[in-house]
Amino acid sequence: MQIEEKAPFDSPFEWIGGEAAVQALVDRFYDLMDLEPGYAALRAAHGPSLDNARARLFWFLCGWLGGPNHYIERFGHPRLRMRHLPFAIGIKERDQWVACMDQAMGETGVDPALRERLRRSFFQTADFMRNKGV
């Protein structure tokens, strides 16, 4: 019988570096939306200000990654699909969201192994948000 090695971190939240690292990731994600023409459709879906989106994504990601449940404490269950229904989300929007988040993870120094795991999870979640065919 072999004993499995303990994972290096108890949660992805610890692995990524805690709240400061999550905030840096969220800030870079939304900054890239403003800077990169390839994310124009994604940026357009967010309206004139990104302040509310920045706060909510930070709160959500902290809990989703295994840290403090800031989002749930404020709003209850995330109900992601329901909350995203007002926005037209198709393949293009999904792919831009995932690409923008992946770029933000790379630029903020997320560990490559964690980045790959998160990229897969982000894709699955973003794909679940789709509410239009294309």
Please give the model's pTM, rounded to 2 decimal places.
Answer: 0.90
Q: In whole angstroms, how far apart are CA 68 and each of 63, 75, 83?
A: 5, 14, 21
pLDDT tens, 49-98? 999 999 999 999 999 999 999 999 999 999 999 998 888 899 999 999 99
pLDDT tens, 93-130? 999 999 999 999 999 999 999 999 999 999 999 999 99
Inter-residue long-range contacts of 131-134, CB under 8 Å, 24+ positions, other chains counted: 131/81, 131/84, 131/85, 131/87, 131/88, 131/89, 131/90, 132/88, 132/89, 132/90, 133/90, 134/90, 134/91, 134/92
Domain boundaries defined on the chain: 15-129
pLDDT tens, 1-47? 455 555 678 899 999 999 999 999 999 999 999 999 999 989 998 88
For domain 15-129, give the fold.
Answer: Globin-like (1.10.490)
